[in-house]
Structure 1
Amino acid sequence: MAKWNIDLAHSAINFQVKHMMVSKVKGVFDSYSADIEAEDLTDLTTANIQFGINTASINTRNEDRDNHLKSGDFFDADSYPTITFKSTSITKKSDDAYAVTGDLTIKDVTKSVTFDTEFNGKGTNPWGQDVYGFEAETSINREEFGLTWNAALETGGVLVGKDIKVIVELEVNPA
């Protein structure tokens, strides 16, 4: 099995959630790492994938909101500094589409999630190194992971939606 690196300058872990039932708040995690091993990244079914995300690196472009998300009301980043994902199976759905299933752990809760993953292609960078692109997406119910804080709105509904869309964009190259 070959090891692969994520090009952090050309990759991102993004998320979005409904705010006040009418708009979406979007954000990223600025610090993360991955261990990726695969025989051939053009056939993702050969891969073993693990991610570690620094919870305190959450960034929604609003310092007060970020501090609230890091607090015990949400991620409790001091007690749970890392969100992890470890693939358990990868199934090819079509030529460039895969279902990447694995164990996602947030705080002390682990649940199986599946990322719909697309292989975006292979290229060669200006230094002659092969690069591979992927985009993966899933939705999780944050309350299932113990992220239950919310506030009722006077007009009905709640401040923060339950469903979180997670979008992972990766550029990968040989280690």
Structure 2
Amino acid sequence: MTRTKWAVDPTHSSIDFSVKHMMIARVKGTFHQFEATIDADPADLTTADIAFSVDVTSIDTRNADRDNHLRTADFFDVEKNPKITFESTSIVKTDDDQYDVTGDVTIAGTTRSETFAVTFEGQGKDPWGNEKVGFSGEGKINRSDYGLTYNAALETGGVLIGDQIKISLVIEAAAQA
């Protein structure tokens, strides 16, 4: 197959995250609004160009008070930094259908290089004849690397919010005409 532009189908895709809470549990969340473009030949993803944009105001941790706090200057400061972005800079095949995708991540005005393990899940036509591809991915970032350092000490030792954020992606994309 040749190089094709693919647009993410947000109704069949997700960007989820989790962070350690109180040193004993994990809080999970998701972003409901995001878009991405992928310019790729599914037969050789090492040449792909990938760009993501996430609307930070769409954060959902199933707690409105926490979500509103995450939108403030203590965390994302959505009035100044309404988007999280990712632009690929390097893609290396590590195994059959497995890739290390490295790119520039920008969160709260800070840009850093991060690598995510991505799996090409397959390609096919939907019942209406539209060409689709699927990907899944996982990675970890440290929120403090992006200036997201708000925290509180616990009486028993440790901190309220962990530094490491686990990110999980499920992406279905459609070929663009």
Scaled by the length of structure 1, what TM-score is found?
0.96
Give the aligned length.
174
Q: Cα deviations across residues 21-72 of structure 1 (Å, max 9, x unaligned)?
A: 111100011111112111x123211210011111111111100000010011
* CA apart distance, 1:128: 1.7
User: Which residue identity lines up with residue 80 of structure 2 in the other structure?
Assistant: S
Which consecutive aligned stretches of 4+ in structure 1 deviate over 2 angstroms post-superposition?
Answer: none
**Cα distance between partner residues in 1 of 2:169 and 2:49:** 16
User: Which residue identity lines up with residue 112 of structure 1 in the other structure?
Assistant: S
Q: Cα deviations across residues 62-118 of structure 1 (Å, max 9, x unaligned)?
A: 000000100110000111111110000111111110000000011121110001001
1:27 matched to 2:14? The reply is no
Q: Cα deviations across residues 109-131 of structure 1 (Å, max 9, x unaligned)?
A: 11100010011112221112221
**Cα distance between partner residues in 2 of 1:41 and 1:10:** 19
Residue aligning to 1:4: 6
Residues 15-164 of structure 1 mapped to structure 2, 5 A cutoff:
15-38=17-40, 40-164=41-165
User: Which residue identity lines up with residue 10 of structure 1 in the other structure?
Assistant: H
Residue aligning to 1:14: 16
CA RMSD, 1 decimal: 0.9
* CA apart distance, 1:5: 1.0
Residue 65 of structure 1: SS of its match in structure 2?
A: helix
**Cα distance between partner residues in 1 of 2:158 and 2:43:** 45
**Cα distance between partner residues in 2 of 1:76 and 1:36:** 28
**Cα distance between partner residues in 2 of 1:41 and 1:13:** 21
**Cα distance between partner residues in 1 of 2:142 and 2:74:** 16
Residue aligning to 1:169: 170
Structure 2: 5+ residue stretches without partners: none
Residue 76 of structure 1: SS of its match in structure 2?
A: coil
Residue 143 of structure 1: SS of its match in structure 2?
A: helix
**Cα distance between partner residues in 2 of 1:149 and 1:10:** 33
Residue 148 of structure 2: SS of its match in structure 1?
A: coil
Does the CA contact (< 8 Å) of 1:16 and 1:27 recur in 2?
Answer: yes
